[in-house]
Amino acid sequence: YVFDVGPECEFFLFNTDDNGCPTTDTTEKAGYFEMGPNDHGENARRDMVLTLEDMGFEIEASHHEASPGQHEIDFRYEPAMHAADNIMTFKLAVKTIAKRHGMHATFMPKPKSGVSGSGMHINMSLRKDGKNIFADENDKFGLSQDAYYFIGGLMKHVYEMTAITNPLVNSYKRLVSGFEAPLHITWSVRNRSPLIRIPSAVGGGTRIELRSPDCAANPYLTIALCLAAGLDGMKNKITPPENIQKNIFSMSEEEKAERNIKSLPTNLSDAVEAMEQDAFIQDVLGEHISNVYINSKKDEWDRYCRAVTQWEVDEYLDKF
């Protein structure tokens, strides 16, 4: 098999202060797909696209995202290792070019409250002898049986994978209700509210999109786990539950419970605990990487719990 991966990387462009240090300030109010004078990062984003093309990237899309100062640049899928290399190179290039324009680019998942965070949707397909094995024109959704099993494997393991796909304390500030965050472990055709989506492309373009990861994730570990989870589904013929076509964000908690729709971990500590208890994840990553990673994330959570945040000062200082 050849595992093709196409990421969709989102990031924010913020102003820097008089000393060139990054801030979370932006003077723009542009929204999704907005163009022209409201998009203050348009020139920087154009420079990024042209530079990346000179570096050999095949850019497929570039646009302003939903939040002020938020952007997305999509580049063509590649085999897994090449795709992971491209993600690392892409992030370095974006940050470097932003600095030339007097701005700071950040891939932090949720740098500001009250707006949508940044993700890194992972589009995946498997090729065998040059043919996309996820495609079946005779299926009502255009999916092969292997594609269904691959979805089943992802759904089985994604909760325990979350410490890898969403590796920061801050990652879980993005995975909250109210901002179209993909936190419900379901799948759908075209509907963007579930965790896993099947985009509209058919035939050779048939793919599975995992919407939970963010750009803070190590792409090598993330892609490895996506492949391993999907192959486990194919090997053990894990059939996914019925797909959800209704907008999950409009469902009541009772309706989600009736449909047995579960959610991803709500914080880094829960995610790390789930990973630590899962033999499959540790077998895929190996004992050394798993142990080092888990210990590092436990330390990060402990430091976060000991920190006194500005929210706490604002909330409590004059009340008690």
Residue 73 lies in a domain: yes
Residue segments in the chain with a per-residue pLDDT below the cut of 70: none
Last residue of a domain, one of 107, 130, 148: 107
Q: List Cβ neighbours of 239 (8 Å cut-off, separation of 6 or more).
A: 148, 149, 152
pTM over 0.75: yes
Residues linked to residue 290 through DSSP beta bridges, in sequence order: none
Which structure tokens are listed for 261?
Answer: 């729709």
**129 and 81 in a common domain:** no
**25 and 135 in a common domain:** no
Which residue type occupies 111?
A: P
Residue 187 lies in a domain: yes
What local confidence, expressed as pLDDT, does residue 310 receive?
94
Which structure tokens are listed for 316?
Answer: 């409590």
What local confidence, expressed as pLDDT, does residue 39 receive?
79
What local confidence, expressed as pLDDT, does residue 298 receive?
99
**102 and 55 in a common domain:** yes
Last residue of a domain, one of 241, 266, 291: 266
| Closest to 177 measured CA to CA, from 93, 252, 284 | 252
Residues linked to residue 208 through DSSP beta bridges, in sequence order: 124
What local confidence, expressed as pLDDT, does residue 145 receive?
98
Residues linked to residue 64 through DSSP beta bridges, in sequence order: 71
Report d(CA 109, CA 217) in Å as an integer.
10
117: left (phi over 0), alpha (psi -120 to 50) or beta: beta
Q: Are 176 and 117 in contact (CB under 8 A)?
A: no
**Residue 207 backbone phi and psi in degrees, to 5:** -155, 165
Q: What is the CATH number of the domain that holds 85?
A: 3.30.590.10
Q: How many residues does the chain have?
A: 320
| Closest to 209 measured CA to CA, from 217, 200, 219, 218 | 200
Q: Which domain holds residue 169?
A: 119-266
